[in-house]
Amino acid sequence: MNRRLILRTLGLVLLCEAAAMVPSLFISFYYTGEDSRALMISIVITAASGALLALVKPESLHVGYREGFAIATFSWLLSAIFGSIPFVLSGVLPSPVDAFFETMSGFTTTGASVITDLEVIPQGILFWRSFTHWLGGMGIIVLTLALIPSLKIAGMQMYKAEVPGPTKSKMLPRIAQTSRELYKIYLIITIVEIIALKIAGMNWFDSIIHTFGTVATGGFSNKNASVGAYDNLAVEVIIIFFMIVCGMNFALHFYALRGNFRPIWKDPESRLYLGVILSSILLISGNLVLSAQFEIGKALRDAAFSVSSIITTTGYATADFDKWPLFSQLVLLMLMLIGGCAGSTGGAIKNARFLIMFKAISKQFVKLLHPQAVVPVRVGKEVISQDVVENVQTFFFLYFIILSGATFYMAGIGLDFISAVSSVAATLGNVGPGFGAVGPMTNYSGIPDSGKVILSLCMLVGRLEIYSVILLLSSKFWR
């Protein structure tokens, strides 16, 4: 294990995080400045810690998969720890556990919150809270690789440990080029949505905050009632569009920005993703109309926003779906598990894994009828290797083991069944709001501290897709 190189890389990550806090300081100065001292001290502490680690001189630049997994996991942990300092020092969240929960929720783009009144928080802290979404959406490691060319040797190992999805592919020959291209696309989408929301009626600050939450599929708002506070159809339509776009594989946007839209229409995962969204909207809106809760226009509007928000794991809300009929709630719970596409900013299991599992199950039925047949697992025109199929099967098993275990724990500390299941599903899938005590119109402030720690770990495990975190718990990993 090349521990010195791991420490040096973690130092570079912290230096990037310290630099990322600077815009929040400027925002603070522009408004009241009451949180500027907390932000300045946080920047100094983070930068000093990063500089000390970055001074460590590695004996070798050779990095294997173990180093890549260690760097990915510890980068996210350290980013959440140091990112929580502004919340503690400003007094917004004096409890370190609450501050860590909020920051982990931000970086992992979960959007679960313990803050009870957002509208009294200084703008600098609010900006930092939402900016953690933007930083975590495309990935802390991907950003570091894009900014620091010296990590090019370790790039692919780190990239594989962080980027979501059952398969990892590069759009360009060098991983640093791929990382920079991903962030260019990410930045373009961000700028376009900010302008669109401003035109739709938001002020500049609100449009920036909600854009960070949308493109990262995170869901932090600066309003207690989330997007529902605006009651603006144009705002909702814009956010729906960008949530769906950012829940798709960003490699497809790479081709689309070059005028080639065919990969989007031909991609089996995208077709499944869009089909699930459309069918879920129709099912829920029909259920709402039949239950006499809404007229058809209102039902379609609320269903479209809620479905788009949940399947992309964004977590914004315009309606209290905790009061909807049980059928509609079950559809949303299913969407919490499905999530977005591989290579997107969305969380949960991913449509690609469901596709591969469906194909693998189909293969087993064919083999029962024709035992001697050679039947490949094929998604579209691509033949999926047996290694990837086994990886997906193991992922499903681990996902539901963790979901079950954490649910038992949450029930053991006093949550009712619905709240326990949905709180774990919402944090493990990086969704944010759940049902019951953690519904869209409430938050996680009532969860005991031990529960917040467990849910914070669920966020980390969900964002790094289990393997990177679980591997570090194995004694064999450290030998």
Q: Render pLDDT for 161-194 as a digit per residue (tens, 0 to 9).
A: 555 556 545 555 456 677 778 888 999 999 999 9
Examine the pLDDT at 195 and tell me if it is beyond 90: yes
Q: Are 150 and 176 in contact (CB under 8 A)?
A: no
- In contact, 212 and 131? CB cutoff 8 Å: yes
Lowest mean pLDDT across 179-183, 196-200, 201-205: 179-183
pLDDT, position 166: 62
384 φ/ψ angles, rounded to the nearest 5 degrees: -90, 130
Please report how the helices 268-290 and 296-311 are oriented relative to each other, as an axis angle in degrees rounded to 10.
140
Taking CA 223 as the corner, what is the angle to CA 414 and CA 126, rounded to the nearest 5 degrees?
90
| Residues in binding site for K(+) | 109-110, 218, 313-314, 430-431
- The mean per-residue pLDDT over the stretch 435-454 comes to 94
Beta pairing class for 377-379 and 382-384 = antiparallel
Q: Is the pLDDT of residue 74 over 60?
A: yes
Mean pLDDT of 84-110: 96
pLDDT value at 158 more than 80:
no
Please tell me the distance from the alpha carbon of residue 110 to that of residue 108, in angstroms, as a whole number. Answer: 5
pLDDT, mean of residues 133-162: 61
Instruction: Name the one residue in this structure whose structure tokens are 């400027």.
Output: 26
- When computed from its CA atoms, the radius of gyration of the chain, rounded to whole angstroms, is 22
Residues 6+ apart with CB under 8 A from 132: 83, 103, 106, 107
**Closest C-alpha among 400, 299, 391, 298 to residue 352:** 391
Question: What pLDDT sits at residue 308?
Answer: 97
At 63 the pLDDT is 64
Name, in order, each residue with C-beta under 8 angstroms of 188's C-beta and a sequence gap of 6 or more: 257
Three-state DSSP at 116 gives coil
Asked whether the whole model's pTM tops 0.95, one would answer no
Residue with token string 């991913």: 350
Tokens of 127: 């900006």
> Does the pLDDT of residue 132 top 60, yes or no?
yes
**Three-class SS state of 384:** strand
Rounded CA-CA distance 414/46 in Å is 37
In this structure, what are the phi and psi dihedrals at residue 120, rounded to the nearest 5 degrees?
A: -110, 0
Angle at 130 between CA 13 and CA 147, to 5 degrees: 30
Interval 73-80 mean pLDDT: 92
Q: Quick one: what percent of the chain has pLDDT higher than 90? A: 66
Taking only the tens place, the pLDDT of each residue in 236-285 is: 999 999 999 999 988 888 888 888 888 888 899 999 999 999 999 999 99
Two tokens, residue 188: 């373009």
pLDDT at 167: 53
Q: In the chain, where are the structural domains located?
A: 3-246
Tokens at residue 133, please? 């979404």
Question: What pLDDT digit, counting tens, does each position of 329-351 carry?
Answer: 999 999 999 999 988 888 899 99
Q: Tell me, what's the pLDDT at 467?
A: 84
* Average pLDDT score over residue span 421-450: 94
Angle CA 148–218–296, to nearest 5? 150
Q: Which residues are annotated as a binding site?
A: 109-110, 218, 313-314, 430-431
d(CA 385, CA 157): 20
Identify the pLDDT of residue 142. Answer: 65
In terms of pLDDT, which residue wins out, 191 or 148?
191
- CB contact set of 442 (below 8 Å; sequence gap of 6+): none
Sequence letter at residue 350: K
pLDDT of residue 152: 47
- Residue 388 is predicted with a pLDDT of 87
Judged against a pLDDT cut of 90, whether residue 202 lies above it is answered with yes
Q: What is the dihedral angle through the alpha carbons of 134, 271, 423, 100, rounded to the nearest 10 degrees?
A: -20
125's tokens: 């802290």
- CA gap 315, 84 in Å, rounded: 21
**What are the Cα distances from residue 62, in Å, to 13, 173, 178, 336, 407?**
18, 19, 21, 39, 40
Q: CA angle, 133 as apex, 128 and 135 as ends, to 5°?
A: 85
Q: What is the pLDDT of residue 154?
A: 47
DSSP one-letter code for 171: S
Q: Which stretches of 279-421 are assigned E, i.e. beta strand?
A: 377-379, 382-384
Show the tokens assigned to 452: 């917040």
- How many residues are recorded in the chain? 479
Report the chain's mean pLDDT, rounded to a whole number: 89
pLDDT given at position 62 = 66
Residue 369: band (very low, low, confident or very high) from pLDDT cuts 50, 70, 90: confident
So what's the pLDDT on residue 165?
A: 56
Separation between Cα atoms, residue 107 and residue 139, nearest integer Å: 9
